[in-house]
Amino acid sequence: DTAVSQTPKYLVTQMGNDKSIKCEQNLGHDTMYWYKQDSKKFLKIMFSYNNKELIINETVPNRFSPKSPDKAHLNLHINSLELGDSAVYFCASSPGKYTEAFFGQGTRLTVV
Amino acid sequence: AQSVTQLGSHVSVSEGALVLLRCNYSSSVPPYLFWYVQYPNQGLQLLLKYTTGATLVKGINGFEAEFKKSETSFHLTKPSAHMSDAAEYFCAVSDRGTGKLIFGQGTTLQVKP
């Protein structure tokens, strides 16, 4: 009964391809996030959705597009992948605006 | 803008020794503060949090942290390190405007036998 689950866990792809990462949470939370962890393990928020509505959109290239079909799902689609997109992407959810976030296991994206 | 600074990117202790991981924050309003642990190839797990009330908060796995407003600190401690504590530790503050979590750069804890 994984609370926040992401698929796939590993993703290796060539430059220029388009890929998607899926995320689902069964915690009943209203808010979901995408975070990026770079090679130095620094974590930075990319997007946040609340009840399917985009509320945070950090300075992220337009090639990244989140989609939330319902409040339990938040997917991340990436177009025209670049080498610099290689990182670990974490999905997270939280019950409220200022509360802790619960993280998925991460998706390690490697662009070759 | 709020920010979090973790002093020491790498901390090494012997098994059984005190663990002290330092975190300082900058915030114009009382913050909500969190410590997370990340084991290799895994996601982040919440260790403990401070929102309001008691400034000494206890978390999982024997960890605790004390919120000191005068020092703008939220250091994480554990009296006796176990080998299983070896991991990456992140301090985070909740942005009071947007609610997003702002993370420190992380501290790698090494536990030597």
For the residues of B90-108, what is the DSSP string, one character each?
EEEEE-TTT--EEE---EE
* Residues B37-96: tens digit of each pLDDT: 999 989 999 999 998 888 999 999 999 999 999 999 999 999 999 999 999 999 999 887
Closest CA to A66 of A89, A87, A47: A47
B-chain CB neighbours of A100 within 8 Å are 34, 46, 49, 101
Whole-angstrom distance, CA of residue B51 vs CA of residue B49: 7
Residue A102's pLDDT band, with cuts at 50, 70 and 90, is very high
* Whole-Å CA distances, B37 to A13, A63, B29, B47, B76: 29, 30, 25, 6, 11
**What percent of chain A is modeled with pLDDT above 70?**
99
pLDDT for residue A1: 66
pLDDT for residue B95: 82
pLDDT for residue B30: 74
pLDDT for residue B29: 74
pLDDT for residue B97: 77
Are the beta carbons of B13 and B113 closer than 8 angstroms? no
* Residues A51-88: tens digit of each pLDDT: 888 888 888 999 999 999 999 999 999 999 999 999 99
B-chain CB neighbours of A56 within 8 Å are 98, 100
Touching check for A101 and chain B: CB below 8 Å? Answer: yes
* Residues B26-35: tens digit of each pLDDT: 877 778 999 9
Q: Phi-psi region for residue A80, left (φ > 0), alpha (ψ -120 to 50) or beta?
A: left
Closest CA to B92 of B80, B101, B83: B101
pLDDT for residue A26: 96
Chain-centre distance for alpha carbon A59? 14
Q: Give strand pairing partners of B87.
A: B109
Residues 57-76 of B with CB under 8 A from A: none
Q: Where are the alpha helices (DSSP H) in chain B?
A: none
